[in-house]
Copies of this chain bind each other. A is one copy, B any other.
Amino acid sequence: MVNEKFKKLGTNRSAIRELFEYGKKLKEQIGEENVFDFSIGNPNVPAPTSVRESIYKNLNDNTVHAYTSAQGDVKVREKIASYDSAKFNLNLSADDIYLTSGAASALTIVFNAIYTKNAEYIVIRPYFPEYKLFIEASGGKCVEVDSDENFSLDVDKISAAITEKTRAIIINSPNNPTGTVYSKEQIFALCKMLSDKEKEFGGKIYLVSDEPYREITYGKEVVNPMCFYNDVITCYSFSKSLSLPGERIGYIAVSPKAEEKNDLYAAICGAGRALGYVCAPSLFQRVVADNYGKTSDISVYEKNRDLLYDSLTSYGYECVYPDGAFYLFVKSPGSGNSFFEECKKRAVLVAPSDDFGVKGYVRISYCVRTETIINALPIFEQIIKLFK
């Protein structure tokens, strides 16, 4: 007499989380140095030292652990609004920002806030598996659209999938799992098409831009779609930029140009409340404000990317060059799950692509110690030979 849907979700954990738990146990059994865990996006680069300094400073204020306003401390929201406004040439105010317990809670809150009867939400394959889960938990239908051959946006395909039921498109650039960064031209084309579709259907189609990897790029510009389209909702997390994934801190930004801005923000507050989010963790609200615009040392990821990409492609692996995030999305040699299994046998843990909505790939998270990559390379070299 429990909820069957949730029981199933709890029993069949995501393949990635399952692998993460398997890796933890394996490390206990055979030693951490013998497990090559590329399963999860748990940043290995520590948070900047300024994070610790900010924690020390804020602990001197006895009110630091108190409830904040439900939408987050106003000073923190002001800091984010003014910084993002300057960076992206926007006109955000504190009242456009809602602090969340990371990007996952930002997404669940947004999907609930914009849910209307029979709502459809378009995701771009391959996609972060929890999108589908969060969309369905809010009552919506997840509509999957393929990306192009380089894992970039195929605006025509997205356009073809839009109906009067479409309530939102979810994009994620830099992308998990592919590392693709959408170009300015692509974002512009998407926004133009969405504007036309809004006129055609006379309703609102929100562009939900999930941006936890915004700062994790190696030179390529990440475009803010709020510059080209009014109905944009940004979901952001400090998990990756400041290496704070366990602390659950992020935010939602509502475009100040969204026509329904006030209703939308109210619905976000209401959804957050109904889902049990009283406020984002208070100490880390202040910490991210103090550290806004800073990042962990992402040069480590760039070094890892170059090493892994160059080596794997030299062994014969096929992979689109990733401009951002810290994932390599590699075509599996052989058929079915055989490549994944051969890796797992040798304690090399990579995430199979099935959960991301496509078959025949694995995701390799390279937010690990460079040494782990160096030690795993001969194994990767050996495995591909099995399939030749």
Given that A65-B243, A265-B10, A283-B246 are contacting pairs, would A101 and B2 also be in contact in the complex, using a CB cutoff of 8 Å?
no
| Contact with A274, one of B6, B55, B114, B284 (Cβ below 8 angstroms) | B6
CB pair B46 A62 closer than 8 Å: yes
Q: How far is the CA of A78 from the CA of B42 in the complex (A)?
A: 23
CB distance A7 to B114 under 8 Å?
no
Number of interface residues of A (CB under 8 A): 82
Known: A268-B10, A274-B9, A276-B105. A1 touches B260 (CB 8 A): yes
Could you tell me the distance in whole angstroms from the C-beta of A201 to the nearest C-beta in chain B? 10
A11-B270, A266-B11, A274-B134 are contacts. A1–B204 as well, Cβ < 8 Å? Answer: yes
Min C-beta distance of A132 to chain B, whole Å: 11
How many copies, total?
A: 2
A107–B274 Cα distance when bound, in Å, is: 11
Interface of A (DSSP majority class)? helix
What are 28 A-B pairs with beta-carbon distances under 8 A?
A: A1-B114, A1-B203, A2-B264, A3-B112, A3-B267, A6-B112, A6-B266, A7-B263, A7-B267, A7-B270, A9-B269, A10-B267, A10-B272, A10-B273, A47-B65, A65-B246, A66-B245, A101-B281, A105-B277, A106-B276, A107-B276, A109-B276, A130-B273, A246-B279, A246-B282, A246-B283, A247-B283, A248-B248
